[in-house]
Amino acid sequence: MEHTSRLARDGLELRRLLNEFRFVYRIPIIFVSQNLRTDREQDLAIIKLFNIVDEQYVEAIRIATRRGLEGVLKEGRWVSVAPYGYRLVGKGVLEINEEEARVVKEIFERYANGEGMRSIVYDLNRRGVKPPKAKTWSQSSISNIIQRELYKGLFVWGKYKYFVDPITGRKKKVPQDNPVVVPVPHLKIVDEHIWEKANQRLREQRRTTKRVRKMHPLYQIVRCGHCGDFMGRDGNKLTCLNYRNKKTCDNPIRLDYQFLYKWLVGNLKQYILLNREKIEKIARNLKAKDKGYKEELTRMKAKLENLMELYAERPSPYLKEKIREYELKIEKLEELCKRQEAEFDFDKALRNLEKVLRLDATEANKILRMFVNEVVISEKHGIIDLRIKTTAPLSTVVGVKEMGCPGLEPGTCGLRVRRSAD
């Protein structure tokens, strides 16, 4: 690696990577331009000192960038892509897009007067109104428009600071005390009292209805055969999310959840138990392959370490290319070893499949994903088609990539087809 700053500019991330490469992979990292190595104890303290300098450099750039952007905003110029309802007519100069502005006004008025977001989304998609970014309108796009201060004639920047939680790895936002606020009355689309009324209603709804994503065994496994989106649970039924939330799909199926769950587990058990001998034979072959992969991985790592030592003494483009070649081979072998290890849990997964109906939702979902890539549900002229698309281990072992249950009448499998809108 050329410089310590190329590895990480965050202290926690640097320590994580150093420990991972030293104790897990047992591969030294060589910083060519600084002549530092992670397998030399005396170099580790110097690497950490360089990291402090790198962190300060990044922070200085962030402060300078923020100061520059604040100056541009205070001049009344925009610093990003034009939001919905506007267009850029010069460097940072916004102008109201009348066609989109009418849609913005309509959204604010309808929502402020008590209409629900889902109803607004249905109507905009039905009329074919162009959305801000995606192909169709959604409730999140309506929510984003309602919260944007620009529509009431204010540039607001720096309202939140975003960072990645080092424990969970999730992106979080923290409200800031002194955001930049610049009045731009010539860009106002919505009257302030309408804006405030709509946002007040939005805040009240968020307080009273806390969104909780409930895990269930078939979570993100069942897909609509018409539009390809996931089918979500609605009480004891499964329905297409695009049909339910946006009305952009024509699949009206409402499937009995318990029927599908039991049908799926029953079909999997039947196919697997009928091919028990084949499973055991292929498992033995996989185990033999796994031993060969691990031996090859050990050899490759030893060769890479020798090349790195040689490169540290006599750097050359040829050695650099060879190191990269070996690194790629090692990555592929590690991936193969991981995949094989997962496949060797197959017998355990078979035992778990026997009791999957009694497990909690998260554990049941994990087990089903070892066998099932997705379940696709479609309907035509009142006839239901259910298809299981299996994952690589099952399709390899059983020799079946797709298991079907075509030609079912709605009444035979707990299905209800609705032609009318909700």
Q: What is the CA radius of gyration of the chain?
A: 29
End-to-end alpha carbon distance in the chain: 59
> What DSSP state is assigned to residue 82?
P
3-state secondary structure 132-168: CCCCCCCHHHHHHHHHCHHHHCEEEECCEEEEECCCC
281-311: b (≥16 Cβ within 10 Å) or e:
ebeeebeeebeebbeebeebbeebeebbeeb
Domain range annotation of the chain? 4-74, 86-208, 222-273+352-417, 283-343
Q: How far apart are CA 219 and CA 25, in angstroms?
A: 34
Structure tokens that stand for 99 in this block: 């066609």
Question: What pLDDT, on the 0 to 100 scale, is given for residue 180?
Answer: 85
Structure tokens that stand for 160 in this block: 């939140």
Q: How far apart are CA 147 and CA 203, in angstroms?
A: 10
Question: What pLDDT, on the 0 to 100 scale, is given for residue 260?
Answer: 84
Question: What pLDDT, on the 0 to 100 scale, is given for residue 27?
Answer: 84
Question: Strands 372-380 and 93-96: what pairing?
Answer: unpaired
Hey, is 379 helix, strand or coil? strand
Question: What pLDDT, on the 0 to 100 scale, is given for residue 41?
Answer: 84
Q: Evaluate whether 76 touches 182 at the Cβ level (below 8 Å).
A: yes
Q: Evaluate whether 388 touches 368 at the Cβ level (below 8 Å).
A: no
Q: Evaluate whether 272 touches 353 at the Cβ level (below 8 Å).
A: yes
Q: How far apart are CA 231 and CA 228, in angstroms?
A: 9
Dihedral of the alpha carbons of 113, 117, 119, 125, in degrees to the nearest 10: 120
Question: What pLDDT, on the 0 to 100 scale, is given for residue 349?
Answer: 61
Question: What pLDDT, on the 0 to 100 scale, is given for residue 397?
Answer: 41
Structure tokens that stand for 302 in this block: 């030893």
Question: What pLDDT, on the 0 to 100 scale, is given for residue 102?
Answer: 95
Q: How far apart are CA 303 and CA 307, in angstroms?
A: 6
Question: What pLDDT, on the 0 to 100 scale, is given for residue 360?
Answer: 80
Q: Using alpha carbons, select from 162, 87, 70 the residue that is nearest to residue 79.
A: 70
Q: Using alpha carbons, select from 41, 44, 28 the residue that is nearest to residue 310.
A: 28
Q: How far apart are CA 271 and CA 12, in angstroms?
A: 48
Architecture of domain 86-208: Alpha-Beta Complex (3.90)
**What string of pLDDT tens digits covers the 422 residues of the chain?**
888 888 877 777 788 888 878 777 788 888 888 888 888 888 888 888 888 888 888 888 888 888 888 888 888 888 888 999 999 998 889 999 999 999 999 999 999 999 999 899 989 998 999 998 888 898 889 999 999 999 999 988 888 887 777 666 677 888 888 888 889 999 999 999 999 999 999 998 887 765 555 678 888 888 888 888 888 888 888 888 888 888 888 888 888 888 888 888 887 777 777 766 776 666 666 665 666 777 788 888 888 888 877 777 777 777 778 888 888 888 888 776 765 554 445 566 667 777 777 778 888 888 788 778 788 888 777 677 777 776 644 554 443 344 444 444 443 343 333 333 33
Question: What pLDDT, on the 0 to 100 scale, is given for residue 187?
Answer: 92
Residue with tokens 């009444």: 411
Residue with tokens 């640097």: 14
Q: How far apart are CA 194 and CA 152, in angstroms?
A: 9
Continuous H helices in 246-360: 257-274, 276-313, 317-343, 346-354
